[in-house]
Structure formats: structure tokens, C-alpha cells
């Protein structure tokens, strides 16, 4: 048996751990593993790939990024932005099938986020035996409680906030930290809570600048002269407006970013307090995965191989209640998993005095 694996979409700490898990479990079964380079593009004839064996994957678990390379552009894009699904052209799928046949690859593991899993589902529906593995730092994939990469991104946010605390306190300033997450607020919420942010602004809870300013004034009145604000890149004002860079991102998708600076300027204007902003950007995606993400990645890879062994195609590996299992890929790609205002975690944050600007 020979199986294929590819990573698609943005890179994410823990991708190499998945590869390590897949190669380890497949090797034990006497199978060979073909790693396609640069996402689905690697399947275009004549095929851009490397044979993966235990020797090639020794020590990769601790590395960030992916040894296979990845892309969020190309011929196989099936989803743009929040919900526009298009079909991968049939002739492109046929080309991929030709490569798989030529290389005698009997099953394909697609490690990707919402968009890449949508492509994976289409390939499965067009006859390729696909297994999905969820990958996202944003933690916004439905049908899995968590994906590898999220914990590492949160750890970077917490490290950033720990550093910003001391400088904000020394200067009695407001500092706004903009973090990733696209249309989901998980990184901002977890990072903000663990890093002791005073105000957390999320896409799911529209905020008012006046209420943010009031929260800063209240803190001042209580003798806390510095304030840390975490804002998710996709956070929305009460008007529903997002701050975007030009539509020059993945396949014409809007590139988010800039809300941190916007919030900082407005808060300074409204409160008269000296305010600074800082954007963490791709620091959240790079670097070594946390131990949690390494373990999750390896377990996901091992389970993907098990699904192939059991002939359960069209399914995505899923983490639920401390257990790695699987669900139909359809269940994961229909909508994003978002923070809800009435959730226990948002309630807990409010209980310790965090303001969401609402
Ligand atoms: O989905 C992961 C993510 O890092 C988002 O949080 C962010 O908006 C986006 O990818 C950035 O993508 P790019 O690789 O195009 O900069």
C-alpha cells in the first residue's frame, strides 16, 4: 500500500507532527508514504513530491512550518472568504487522479483548514479516497473541539501580552494588541484571558468604541492606569464594519488587519490617554509547536492512517472530549465554529472583569 499526504492553506505549528504520526503509523503497517509539495499543486503532473520514511521525519516534530511546503493559492481553491464555494475544475481533478494512479497512491490525507477540506471533500466526491485532518491556528473548524496550531498561537499571544504588561504599566499607557483568527475570536479570547487582557474585542461580539473608552476610564478611576486591549483582526464595530486591507489575499480573499491601530487611535482620542498598538501577525503562525500541539498532531496523523486501514474515506479526524475520533468531512466544512456571547468562557471572562466593549 502507498498513501499520499499534503498540507494546504496557511502553515501552522504542528503540521510536521502530523507528518511524523502518519509516517510512523504507515511504516508500522509496511506502507509507503508520498508527501506532495506545496499543497494540492504537488499532484499536478508530473507530480512534485518526496518519499517520506522514518529517516526523513526524524526530529521534525519540533519544527514549525511544514517540510512539505504549502500554499493557499493555486488550481484547487474551492472556497473564497467566509462562504463562497466554487467547484474545482474537473480537468484539474482528472490531472490529480492521473498523478495518483501513476504513483500508485491508493489514498490521500489532506491536512488543511476549512477551504482545503472543502477541496478535499470535492476530490472525494469525484472519486479520490480522501481523509481530512483539521489544521487551523484560528480554531474555527466545525466538528472538532480543537485543532493543532491553536495552542501554539495562543502561547505567542500570551508571551506578547506578558511583555506588553510591563511596558504599559511603566508608562501608564493603553496598549492594543491585534491578533489573528480571521472571522473567529478564539485566539483573542484564549490569548487575552491567559495573558490578563482587560478588554477583549471579538468578531462575534460587536463593540462600541465609547464603551471601550469607558472601560479604560473606569480602570483609571480605580487606580489602574494602564490597560491592555486584545483585538481580533476580524473584530466588528457595532455598525458591523470590519477593518480590511485590500482584497489581495488568498485568491482575491479580503486580507484582514489594521483594526488594532484604528482602535488605538480612537481610544486615545476618546480618553486622552497615551495609546500604542502592536500587531503580532505571522509570529503567531511560526516557530515550534507547543507540546499539546505536537501530541495532537501525532494523534491526528495516526488516526488518519487508521481510517485508511479501515477503508473509512470521506471522513475527517476530529478531537472531541479528550478523544481522537472522526466525522464526515461535510460536518466540518458547512460553517465556521465561532465564539458565542452566552458561552461559559465568555461568562467567566466577564466575571473576572474583562470588558468586551458591548
Ligand atoms: O487562517 C490562518 C490565518 O493565519 C488567519 O488567522 C490570517 O487572517 C490568515 O491566515 C493570514 O493568511 P496569509 O497567509 O495569507 O497571510
Separation of CA 282 and ligand 1 centre (Å): 8
Average pLDDT, integer, range 281-292: 97
180 in contact with ligand 1, CB cutoff 6 A:
yes
C-alpha distances out from residue 304 to 64, 92, 120, 129, 313, Å:
21, 25, 14, 12, 10
Answer whether residue 82 shows pLDDT above 70: no
Of all protein residues, the one whose alpha carbon is nearest to atom 12 of ligand 1 is: 10
64 in contact with ligand 1, CB cutoff 6 A:
no
Q: Do domains 2-148+289-332 and 154-284 have the same CATH topology?
A: yes
| Domain segments of the chain as ranges | 2-148+289-332, 154-284
Separation of alpha carbons 23 and 226, rounded Å = 50
Sheet holding 275-279, edge to edge: 199-201, 227-232, 174-179, 275-279
CATH classification of 2-148+289-332 is 3.40.50.450, yes or no?
yes
Query: What confidence tens digit (pLDDT) does each residue in 86-139 have?
Result: 899 999 999 999 999 999 999 999 999 999 999 999 999 999 999 999 999 999
Helix (H) or strand (E) holding 228: strand 227-232
Which residues are within 8 A (CB) of 212 and not within 5 positions of it... i.e. 6 or more apart? Answer: 199, 201, 229, 263, 266, 267, 355, 357
Contact 181, 209 (CB under 8 A): no
For residue 187, the ligand 1 atom closest to its alpha carbon is 6
Return the pLDDT at 242: 75
- CATH, range 154-284: 3.40.50.460
pTM of structure? 0.95
Which amino acids are annotated catalytic? 138
Rounded to a whole number of angstroms, the distance between the first and last alpha carbons of the chain is 56
Separation of CA 10 and ligand 1 centre (Å): 6
**Number of other CB atoms surrounding residue 340 within 10 Å:** 11
Answer whether residue 36 shows pLDDT above 70: yes
Amino acid at each position: 500500500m502507498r498513501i499520499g499526504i499534503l498540507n494546504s492553506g496557511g502553515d501552522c505549528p504542528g503540521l510536521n507532527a502530523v507528518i511524523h504520526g502518519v509516517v510512523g503509523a504507515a511504516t508500522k503497517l509496511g506502507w509507503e508514504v508520498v508527501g506532495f509539495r506545496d499543497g494540492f499543486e504537488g499532484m499536478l503532473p508530473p507530480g512534485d513530491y518526496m518519499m517520506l520514511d522514518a529517516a526523513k521525519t526524524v526530529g521534525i516534530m519540533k519544527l514549525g512550518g511544514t517540510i512539505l511546503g504549502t500554499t493557499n493559492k493555486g488550481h484547487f481553491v474551492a472556497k473564497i472568504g467566509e462562504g463562497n464555494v466554487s467547484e474545482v475544475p474537473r480537468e484539474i481533478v482528472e490531472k490529480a487522479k492521473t498523478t495518483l494512479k501513476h504513483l500508485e497512491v491508493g489514498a490521500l490525507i489532506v491536512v488543511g483548514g476549512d477551504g482545503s477540506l472543502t477541496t478535499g471533500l470535492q476530490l472525494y466526491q469525484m472519486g479520490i479516497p480522501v481523509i481530512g485532518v483539521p489544521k487551523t491556528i484560528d480554531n474555527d473548524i466545525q466538528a472538532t473541539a480543537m485543532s493543532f496550531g491553536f495552542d501554539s498561537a495562543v502561547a505567542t499571544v500570551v508571551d506578547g501580552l506578558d511583555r506588553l504588561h510591563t511596558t504599559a504599566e511603566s508608562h501608564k499607557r493603553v496598549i492594543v494588541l491585534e491578533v489573528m483568527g480571521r472571522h473567529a475570536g478564539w485566539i483573542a479570547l484564549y490569548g487575552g484571558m491567559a495573558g490578563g487582557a482587560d478588554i477583549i474585542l471579538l468578531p462575534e461580539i460587536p463593540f462600541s468604541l465609547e464603551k471601550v473608552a469607558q472601560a479604560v476610564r473606569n480602570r483609571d478611576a480605580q487606580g489602574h492606569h494602564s490597560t491592555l486591549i486584545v483585538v481580533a483582526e476580524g473584530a466588528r464595530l457595532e455598525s458591523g464594519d470590519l477593518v480590511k486591507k485590500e482584497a489581495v489575499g488568498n485568491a482575491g480573499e479580503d486580507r484582514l488587519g489594521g483594526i488594532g491601530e484604528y482602535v488605538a487611535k480612537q481610544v486615545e482620542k476618546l480618553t486622552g490617554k497615551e495609546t500604542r498598538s502592536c500587531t503580532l501577525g505571522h509570529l503567531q503562525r511560526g516557530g515550534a509547536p507547543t507540546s499539546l500541539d505536537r501530541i495532537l498532531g501525532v494523534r491526528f496523523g495516526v488516526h488518519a492512517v487508521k481510517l485508511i486501514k479501515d477503508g473509512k474515506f470521506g471522513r475527517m479526524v476530529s478531537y472531541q472530549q479528550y478523544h481522537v475520533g472522526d466525522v464526515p468531512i461535510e460536518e466540518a466544512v458547512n460553517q465556521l465554529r465561532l465564539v458565542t456571547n452566552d458561552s461559559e468562557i465568555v461568562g467567566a471572562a466577564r466575571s473576572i472583569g474583562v470588558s468586551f466593549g458591548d
